[in-house]
Amino acid sequence: MTPTDQQARQQHTPLPGDGLDAARMPGHWLLARLGKRVLRPGGVELTEWMLDALGVDPQDRVVELAAGLGATARLTLTRRPAAYTAVDRDAAAVASLSALTGPGPTEVRAVRSDAAATGLPERDATVVYGEAMLTMQPYPAKRRIVREAHRLLDDSTGRYAIHELCLLPDGLDPALADRIAADLQDAIHVGARPLTPSGWSELLAIEGFTVTAHKTAPMALLEPRRLIADEGLIPALRIVGRALRNPVALRRMLHMRRVFRRHSAHLGAISLLAVPTPPHA
C-alpha cells in the first residue's frame, strides 16, 4: 500500500463513537472526533520516554494493547521492530490500525480482541505496552490485563510498560481519591480509577513484574501548551475551531479541563517500565 493509499484509507475509516450523541460518548472518543490524535495523559513527551525506556529495536516483537487511533503505533514503527501487533476491541480502531504500514521488513498487523484475553501466542513478544487503558478498568480487570501482558512476554528478554493517570501523592486520603474518581467519571463518561505511583508498582508486582524505572508528568491533556506540543499548532487550532462550532462538544471539553485543573495537585500521569520477575527472586 502506498502512502497516498494509506492516507486515503485512514480518511475514510470511521472513528470510534460513530452514531453516539456527543453529550454521552466517552471523553476520549469525543476528543478524537474533534481531531485530537494524542490521547495519552502525559502527552507525546511521556510516550517517547516510555518507548526510549523500552529500548524498542529491530530485534523486537512488539504488542500494543488498546492501540486506539495509532498515534503511539506510528512512533513505535519508526524504531523498525521486527514485528508490531496492535490489539483493540473497537472495530473502527482496528480498521484504522490495519491501514498502518511499517518501514522496511517490519511485520504489522491489527487484531480485534480484548486486552485481557488477546488470543496471541504465549511468550512470543519481547515488548508489550499499553497506555491510558488500565486507568479505566476496575481493579480485578487491571490485574487480568497485566497478567495477560506477562503471559505474552518472553521471560528472558521481555519488557512491559504502561502510561496511565496517577493519583498523588502516595498515601492520598481514600475519600479524596473517591471524589476525584467520581469527578472524572462525570466529565469523561467512563469509570476512571487511577492509582498512586506505589499502587501502580504494587499492581505490577502482584502479577509477576519488577518495576525498573518510572517517570511522572503533569496531567495537562487539554492545556493550550500541551495541546500544541502534542498535536502541532495548526491541528490544535483546528481542534479548537471544531469545538467552537459544536456547542455540546465545547461544553464537554471545557468541563473535562475544569475537572483536570480542579484536581491538578493530586492528578498526574505516570509511565512505568517493568520486566518479568525471575523465579524465586
pLDDT along the chain (281 residues), means of 10: 41 57 83 91 96 96 94 94 95 88 84 97 97 95 98 94 97 95 92 95 98 96 94 95 94 95 96 92 59
pLDDT of residue 7: 40
3-state secondary structure of 37: coil
Q: What is the C-alpha separation between 150 and 143, in angstroms, rounded?
A: 11
How does strand 209-218 pair with strand 267-276?
antiparallel
Tell me yes or no: is domain 3-12+21-275 CATH 3.30.230.10.
no
- Residue 86 — φ and ψ, nearest 5°? -95, 135
The amino acid present at 200, given as its one-letter code, is: W
Q: What is the C-alpha separation between 221 and 40, in angstroms, rounded?
A: 8
Q: At what angle do helices 224-231 and 43-54 cross, to 10 degrees?
A: 50
User: Is the separation of the CB atoms in 187 and 27 below 8 Å?
Assistant: yes
Q: How many residues does the structure list for the chain?
A: 281
DSSP state of 153: B
For residue 11, CA distances in Å to 15, 73, 95, 152, 207 come to 10, 17, 11, 32, 39
pLDDT of residue 29: 86
pLDDT of residue 4: 39
Angle, CA of 21, 24 and 30, to the nearest 5°: 75
pLDDT of residue 155: 86
pLDDT of residue 130: 98
User: Is the separation of the CB atoms in 158 and 128 below 8 Å?
Assistant: yes
Cis omega (within 30 of 0) on the bond before 169?
A: yes
**Beta-sheet strands, E only, within the chain:** 61-65, 83-88, 107-112, 127-131, 159-167, 209-218, 267-276
For residue 99, CA distances in Å to 21, 38, 51, 225 come to 27, 18, 22, 30
Residue showing cell 464537554: 252
